[in-house]
A and B are shown apart, each in its own frame.
Chain A
């Protein structure tokens, strides 16, 4: 059996695909793809092996691109990606995820959820989320009113969590018909009421391996963990240099391990604290955090990493990759202990996905 690895990178100037083998040392770079469209998220559909890239052109609107040949050729579609004639126009597709039954989900701006049962060729609106009673109060974050995180339950088709900025986390337990706010315990320091039901600025969240009721969240106002599917969140920021950051990934096998990249603060420039680059990880569910800057620039590094721009693979030891808003792609092949530069001169990196293929 041959193992190949891919890094899928979304940028405002198109998608890029990097390929290597199981060593993850020598990467070949191809791109830009998707005709240079701004690409917010890019994944591999495990059902078909196709690459799916989500984005929106300032001229031509939203679309999901699909490649069945690892990026050599692409088709695109936005059939069904609409709230209806006369309704607000969809600007772009922000996020993609695949459910346990192979259905593909797309999160869009302005915030809403769509579902495809044919691999992203046609889409149907999950209208229950748009009909959520709090919808009229939803306010955009700095990136817009975006649905940026989709976490399907790994086995229960009726359950999915989504994250919307700056609205918070919602969960459905009935296949998308109704949605419940899941923000209890999450602060909203920018709000006159610091603990509203909705209005939290969730930046990214992910499920713990093998424990779907446990989710880790990087928020505008801290890092959190829930052990009851989001009904209650506990803050686990203590030990980090800042409460502010964007991406968060969880380990593929260890439910106690997660990685974050703190930035110095929402009003302080949003770069890594003290201009010294580091990724932080926990191995005890957020009770303590370990800093790793080995291999990363430790001074004069005014780097920022956006919410979708960190990913992990499924190899052992797990590989962690992040891309900066200034186009550097960094990788660790020892679970985030040390880091190497993969490539330095990409456009601003909006998203990273790490894929392992066996053939």
Chain B
């Protein structure tokens, strides 16, 4: 199984949800869709119309920047990290 790590500011919107999740391999898109099944509303926080990742959401797969099409392997580690560019207010 792949491992996904979610950021603290995202977890705060979903009380009780843990930081680390085990998901089926596939792509970043399929990983987010699977997480949305168990955490309803999570997809809308990470993706905007397109669909595409929101402008200030970064996803790293095994340490490399990714997008929705990036493959996620069976032993991959995915980090979802809000960009430092996002906090203008």
Contact = CB atoms under 8 A, between A and B. Distances in A.
Contacts of B41: 76-79
Interface in B33-60: 41, 44-46, 48-51, 54, 56-57
B49 A59 contact: no
A203 B89 CA distance: 22
Interface string A303-340: 00000000000000000000000000000000000000
Interface string B76-89: 00000011001111
Contacts, number: 55
B89 A12 contact: yes
Contacts of B74: none
Contacts of A12: 89
Interface string B50-76: 110010110000000000000000000
A59 B87 CA distance: 8
Interface in A50-73: 57-61, 63, 73
Contacts of A82: 49
Contacts of B9: 35, 59-60
A87 interface: yes
B45 to A, nearest CB: 4
How many A residues are at the interface, by size bracket? Answer: 20 to 34
26 contacts: A35-B13, A57-B45, A57-B86, A58-B87, A58-B88, A58-B89, A59-B9, A59-B56, A59-B57, A60-B9, A60-B10, A60-B13, A60-B46, A61-B45, A61-B48, A63-B44, A73-B15, A76-B41, A78-B41, A84-B49, A85-B50, A86-B49, A86-B50, A88-B49, A89-B49, A90-B49
Interface of B: 9-10, 12-13, 15, 41, 44-46, 48-51, 54, 56-57, 82-83, 86-89
Given A12-B89, A58-B88, A60-B45, 14 more contacts: A35-B12, A38-B89, A57-B86, A59-B9, A59-B83, A59-B87, A60-B13, A61-B48, A73-B15, A79-B41, A82-B49, A86-B50, A89-B48, A89-B50
